[in-house]
Amino acid sequence: MAQITIDLKDKNISTVLNILENLKDGIIDNIHTSTITKKRNRYQANNNDIINEDQKPTGKYVSASEYKRKLQ
């Protein structure tokens, strides 16, 4: 089995590990690191509310119906 050794600065290790994890399926058998890194959390929406087209927006953007009205 062939091995590759890479020396990295600590600030770059999460980026390189992310790239290697994306290549791992079928190409890389194992990934070993000498430092412990925390995994990135996946994006999770703040709420699960469904927003109707006529509902008044709570943020800085106008609703879809208001935007359509402005275009006309």
Q: Please, are residues 53 and 64 in contact by the beta-carbon 8 Å criterion?
A: yes
Please say if the pLDDT value at position 11 is more than 70.
yes
- For residue 23, tell me if it sits in a domain: yes
Query: For residue 49, is it within any domain?
Result: no
Whether the per-residue pLDDT at 45 is higher than 70: the answer is no
5 is in which domain, residue-wise? 1-40
pLDDT (average), residues 41-66: 70
- For 4-27, the DSSP string reads ------GGGHHHHHHHHHHHHHHH
Q: Domain for residue 51, yes or no?
A: no
Quote the number of domains for the chain.
1
**What pLDDT, in 10s, does the model give residues 19-42?**
888 887 778 888 888 776 566 666
pLDDT of residue 43: 67
